[in-house]
Amino acid sequence: KQEVTQIPAALSVPEGENLVLNCSFTDSAIYNLQWFRQDPGKGLTSLLLIQSSQREQTSGRLNASLDKSSGRSTLYIAASQPGDSATYLCAVSDRGSTLGRLYFGRGTQLTVWP
Amino acid sequence: DTGVSQDPRHKITKRGQNVTFRCDPISEHNRLYWYRQTLGQGPEFLTYFQNEAQLEKSRLLSDRFSAERPKGSFSTLEIQRTEQGDSAMYLCASSPGTGGMFVDEQFFGPGTRLTVL
């Protein structure tokens, strides 16, 4: 069974710092990997999708990389802002499971203080 | 708003009552998923529809849970004889699903927060 782990569980940084969130998964036979943002009590907002054939994706201040063979992904946030404060979730869709079924990590709770 | 919508956003019920949630996916999205999220955890898969066909149910979905997607549009998730352990956020997601075995991006709704007293 696919297992997804996110490190660190929580992170608190001052505004302006560049930071890296880590995600690892146990089965490298994946279709894709998605990073989501979740605000308290809210649903999930998709940030980036990386297909298994891709190495990275960028959107604004966000950059996500994927190393499928080692089962790792990182989300890089440049010049962090207080508005970035949220929980960031990593999820993979693997080839051994229901088409599109996502396996999630527990998330990294990010706090950016002014 | 053309995103995924869910109704109600919050539901408080007493143990033993039945509840029903609704999800309206993005228009023309063929794939629809239900997930459940408890505090401090990532969402866990419950069930999956391809158009109107329910193709998989997780072992998390006991006999008290049933889901439908009539006509391949909106979906409902019903919980019968609710228990306190059912308290969670119920999330719905949809994806285009037009590319055969291609797995595309999933878009989530705001969720329904269920509290069972």
Residues of A whose CB is below 8 A from B106: 34, 46, 100, 102
Nearest by CB to B107, from A41, A46, A107: name it. A46
Question: Which residues have CB under 8 Å from B28's CB, separation 6+?
Answer: B96
Mean of the pLDDT values across residues A74-95? Answer: 95
| Mean pLDDT for chain A overall | 94
* CA dist., res. A92 & res. A30, Å (int): 7
* CA dist., res. A56 & res. A68, Å (int): 11
Q: pLDDT confidence of B100, banded at 50, 70, 90?
A: low
* CA dist., res. B62 & res. B46, Å (int): 10
Residue of B73, B109, B98 whose CA lies nearest to B1: B109
Residue type at B33 in one-letter notation: Y
Pairing mode, strands B10-13 and B112-116: parallel
Shortest Cα–Cα distance, B22 to chain A (Å): 15
Helix (H) or strand (E) holding A97: none
DSSP A62-108: EEEEEETTTTEEEEEE-S--GGG-EEEEEEEEETTSSTT-EEE---E
Check residues A12 and B101 and name the one with the higher pLDDT: A12
Residue B101 has pLDDT above 70, yes or no: no
